[in-house]
Amino acid sequence: MTKDVCHNENMPILKKLIFALPFLIFLAWFYYQLNFFFKDIYIIFGLNFSVLIQIIWLIVALGLLSLFFVIFSCLCDDWKFILPVSILGSLISFVIFPIPGGLVIWVGTLLSLIFSYLILNNKLKTYLTFQSNVLLTPSIKTLAGFLILTASLSFYFFAKEEIKTNGFRVPDSLIDTALKFATPQIPDVKGESIAQISLTPEQLELLKQNPDLVRQQGIDPAILDSLPVSNTSQQSSPSGSMQTNSNELVKNLLQSQIKNLVEPYLNLIPVFLAGLFFVTMHSFHSIFSIVYSILVPLIFWILEKTKFIMFEKEQREVKKMVV
């Protein structure tokens, strides 16, 4: 039986460590991109192009760090180098994230790297013939999956702390979207839609005297006490200013209603946010993982052509049962 073997026992230390550098760079970049989502836990609701770009950069960093760590582990295949590099990489989290969040990410990253290498190491000892795509791509996806789980768990703790400190707020992007659908349904006052007028003190008093008008829409009349009131100069201002005041009115009404709805489930909101973050990252990574089947064979083809690595064929006896 013929077996293709990639030799690394006598590989120089420089060659063993050369792929550790890009791994550390992309891991730091991944942490940097991840920090944007931890600083603003509501950014995941963003319905604009800039948020989409941030998610894409985060997934690209995740994919490349997983790719280079697996290649580094394959070429090195030595705990004396892999463990220190893994520890050093995970320690970068303390530079970017505050404790205790940084501690969660450090432990999760370190365990993800160790478990991924253990899985890969078993394959390196038992494979029959070296096929880079078949051998390494599953390990890359496994490592990325571990890191997505780690990031989602960390996101939960950051979201929990944010809500505990500052309370829950409905993202403006969701309010703006809901506003487009809610505005036509708001009841009229003297033939005018609430969303089309700028409330004067008299109009606000009218709504307070008729709370059923607000309750018909499932809105707590208590919100009327916190609504902005326009003055005479605002009444004579251009229609654009009036529309701005109207939008603020509707936003306040919707904020109040949604907060009242989620108040009993406040402790579950961090779980929901972390779950949404996990689903988003996993979905985007599933699309990005298509490129692994191209990059992995390409990298090893370049390494072989440049004599960085060599393959040799071995003849081995095979025992078969004959009945």
Q: What is the dihedral of CA 121, 124, 127, 129, to 10 degrees?
A: 160
List beta partners, residue 5: 312
- pLDDT reported for residue 47: 64
pLDDT tens digits, the chain, 323 residues: what are they? 344 445 455 567 778 888 999 999 999 999 999 998 888 887 877 767 888 899 999 999 999 999 999 999 988 888 889 999 999 999 999 889 887 778 889 999 999 999 999 999 888 887 777 888 888 999 999 999 999 999 999 999 888 888 888 777 766 666 666 555 544 444 444 444 444 444 556 556 656 665 665 565 555 666 666 555 555 444 444 444 444 445 565 566 666 666 667 676 677 888 888 999 999 999 999 999 999 999 999 999 998 888 888 877 777 776 777 77
- pLDDT reported for residue 63: 95
Span between the terminal Cα atoms of the chain, in Å: 21
- pLDDT reported for residue 206: 56
CA distances from 228 to 200, 231, 242 (A): 9, 10, 12
Name the amino acid, one letter, at 212. D
- pLDDT reported for residue 3: 43
* Rounded CA separation 191/56 (Å): 48
Packing angle, helices 49-76 and 101-126, rounded to 10: 50
* Rounded CA separation 209/90 (Å): 61
* Rounded CA separation 281/61 (Å): 12
- Are β-strands 2-6 and 311-315 bridged in parallel, bridged antiparallel, or unpaired? antiparallel
- pLDDT reported for residue 25: 95
Helix (H, G, I), strand (E, B) or coil at 98: coil
